[in-house]
Amino acid sequence: MKQISATDLREKINNKETMLVDFFATWCGPCKVLSEELTKIDSEIPIYKVDVEEDIDLSTLMNIRSVPALKFIKEGEVVATTIGLKSSKEINNLIVESLS
């Protein structure tokens, strides 16, 4: 799991990459718990983190209104979104359903 800049994320989307993106805020308690859950994910799909306060324009573009938010992106297109805390099992299931 790697924190990624807005520029790098836009480039990956334009390159039609498949990924899971965690939109978070440093002050958000549930975001910290979700981050721990994401470390338990056993997947070859890259997981990136974006601090919503570092790039408000990107957060607006990606329609982030609450955190934590997960965007499942397949070949550059958002195919699923979750809001709020999820378990690693729920996230794994969503990866299989959305990104495989």
Q: What is the CATH number of the domain that holds 54?
A: 3.40.30.10
Whether the pTM exceeds 0.85: the reply is yes
Helix axes 88-99, 29-38, angle to 10 degrees: 70
Q: Total structural domains in the chain?
A: 1
DSSP 14-52: HTT--EEEEEE-TT-HHHHHHHHHHTT---SS-EEEEET
pLDDT tens digits for the chain (100 residues)? 899 988 899 999 999 999 999 999 999 999 999 999 999 998 899 999 999 998 888 888 899 999 999 999 999 999 999 999 999 999 999 999 999 8
Q: Is 8 a catalytic residue?
A: no
Q: Which residue among 4, 20, 31, 58 is the active-site one? A: 31
Which residue range(s) make up the domain with 34? 2-99
- Residue 7 annotated among the catalytic residues of the structure: no
